[in-house]
Amino acid sequence: MKFSEAVKMKATGCAKCFSAIYTLPCRLDPGIVKYLGSFGKPRYRLDAVKLLRIDTTDGFHIEGKIGLKSIKFVMPKNFEKVHINKIARKKEFEKSLAAWLTDTLKIQITT
């Protein structure tokens, strides 16, 4: 199954950032952290707060709440002028998300 068939993405922006919000076919669980290792470590202990937040050294961050069916990939504002499919870190995030979904749902998700 293609990533775009399994996951719906909506781009949004505000004065400070540019975000891609992904609606998932399953609930977010703590196991996703190992798939996002290239972005950094969670800011908070997931067993304590259920809030996933990973801040990268290059200005991106990932936000989600364990148990919900969405996750947000936040990009620096200057990426708003770049075509969303040409942002390398976003592509890397989607590949990581696809790998987690493949293992979680037991079906092949390709980007």
Q: What residue ranges define each of the domains in the chain, with the CATH number in brackets?
A: 3-105 (3.30.310)
What's the pLDDT score for residue 84? 85
Report how far residue 47's alpha carbon sits from residue 71's, in angstroms, rounded to the nearest whole number: 18
- pLDDT tens, N- to C-terminus, the chain (111 residues): 999 999 999 998 877 778 999 999 999 999 999 999 999 999 999 989 999 999 999 999 999 999 999 999 999 988 888 888 899 999 999 999 999 999 999 999 999
* Nearest in space to 22 (alpha carbons), one of 85, 86, 87, 71: 71
Sequence-separated (6 or more) residues with CB below 8 Å from residue 79: 18, 87
What's the pLDDT score for residue 80? 84
- Quick one: how many helices (H) and strands (E) in the chain? 3, 5
Report how far residue 5's alpha carbon sits from residue 105's, in angstroms, rounded to the nearest whole number: 14
